[in-house]
Amino acid sequence: MSAVSTPPVTPTPARRDGESTRTAILKAARYLLARHAHGDITLKAVADRAGVSPPLILKYFGNKDALFARVMSFETDAEALLAAPLDALGPHMVRHVLVSQSEQGADPLLRIVFAPLHGEQGDILRANFRTQVTDRLTARLTGPDAGLRAELAVATLLGLGVMYGIARGTELRASTVDALTDRYAPTVQAYLTP
């Protein structure tokens, strides 16, 4: 008598709530935007990366332009990045960049690096970055050359983000967030509090 074989059971993916589905879609779109020109990204590619169907993206965002308008905004990221008192902002910003990359798989600033890939959409990305990140930081600074110091602080964070997340520096990635923050934050803070 031979044993009856049953096909292996494929687990059904956990059902997501609306907010986690939106988050997965936005994360997928951000990932793709950081690696491909806007015009080359399809809703199907975003859906595949997010583990959803293209019609679900339309349900939550309406169309590709509306989705990428959200992805090209730095408003929410800037809010979290700048959420510390000025005298502790440097360490907070460094930690935020590192934790976002190491634990959440997304950098709050890095998509600006890829603006040249996006043609006219890159102009939108640059304008949003300037008003939502750099200008907002400038408004918080006191003393001379606030705009220049804000841009230098952000440039310093972008360098860290590129080396950690894109170049994937082996020594950086082998260090703890605390150790990197202790070493790097004084440089950022020096631009913020002259």
- What pLDDT does residue 180 have? 97
**Same domain for 86 and 63:** no
Domain end (from 71, 105, 134): 71
| Residue 66 maps to a domain | yes
Task: Report the pLDDT value the prediction gives residue 125, as an integer from 0 to 100.
Answer: 85
SS (H, E, C) 122-184: HHHHHHHHHHHHHHHHHHHCCCCCHHHHHHHHHHHHHHHHHHHHHCCCHHHHHCCHHHHHHHH
- Looking at the structure, tell me whether residues 107 and 160 fall in a common domain: yes
Residue 2 confidence class, pLDDT cut points 50, 70, 90: very low
Does 11 have pLDDT greater than 70?
no
**Domain match, 180 and 150 both:** yes
> Is 84 part of any domain?
yes
What is the domain extent for residue 31?
Answer: 18-71
The per-residue pLDDT for 194 is: 79
* pLDDT over 90 at 5, yes or no: no
Summarised one tens digit per residue, pLDDT across range 127-179 is: 989 999 999 999 999 999 999 999 999 999 999 999 998 888 999 999 999 99
Looking at the predicted structure, is the pLDDT value of residue 47 above 90?
yes
CB 27: neighbour CB atoms within 10 A? 17
Residue 57 in domain: yes
- The total of structural domains in the chain comes to 2
Arithmetic mean of pLDDT over the chain: 86
Query: Which is more confidently placed, 120 or 21?
Result: 21
- Output the six-digit token pair for 127: 């304008």
Residue 7 forms part of a structural domain: no
Residue 13 located in a structural domain: no
pLDDT in tens, 76-115: 889 999 999 999 999 999 999 999 888 876 777 887 887 7
65 shares a domain with 82: no
Q: Are residues 35 and 86 in the same domain?
A: no
Six-digit token string for 5: 């074989």
CA distance 189 to 149: 10
What CATH number does residue 116 fall under?
A: 1.10.357.10
CA–CA distance, 102 with 93 (Å, rounded to integer): 14
